[in-house]
Amino acid sequence: MNMDMATAMATWGPIAVMLIIFYFLLYRPQKKAQQEREEMLNSLTKGTKVITIGGIYGIITQLNEKVVTLKIAEKVEIEISRGSIGSIVKGDSSEVSL
């Protein structure tokens, strides 16, 4: 009986270790990043300074659950999908001065 258990561990042990490594190195960090992105998108408000995925800086003038209107220059506003927001500009507000 001990020999069968040792054989099973020798066969399935490395696979189990690889699955654990896969979980901690790939799946868990990706899930955490996805959750942080969702929180960032849900925290958007009018007046927030943002950068789009395409690299456009702007200030949110209007938003709903799917569309965001950005002021990117004086008298120039564009509509983009909410998911196209790459990040919120933090710190020095001189990066975006419209």
* pLDDT (mean) for 58-86: 95
For residues 56 and 15, membership in a common domain is answered with no
CB 41 within 8 A of CB 86: no
* DSSP state letter for 39: H
64: domain range? 45-95
Q: Residue 98, Cβ neighbours under 10 Å: how many? A: 13
Length of the chain, in residues: 98
For residues 54 and 80, membership in a common domain is answered with yes
- The pTM is what? 0.69
- Closest C-alpha to 61, from 95, 98, 91: 98
Quick one: pLDDT at residue 38?
94
How many structural domains does the chain have? 2
For residues 83 and 68, membership in a common domain is answered with yes
Q: Is the dihedral of CA 70, 71, 73, 78 positive or negative?
A: positive
Using DSSP, state whether 6 is helix, strand or coil. Answer: helix
Q: Please say if the pLDDT value at position 94 is more than 60.
A: no
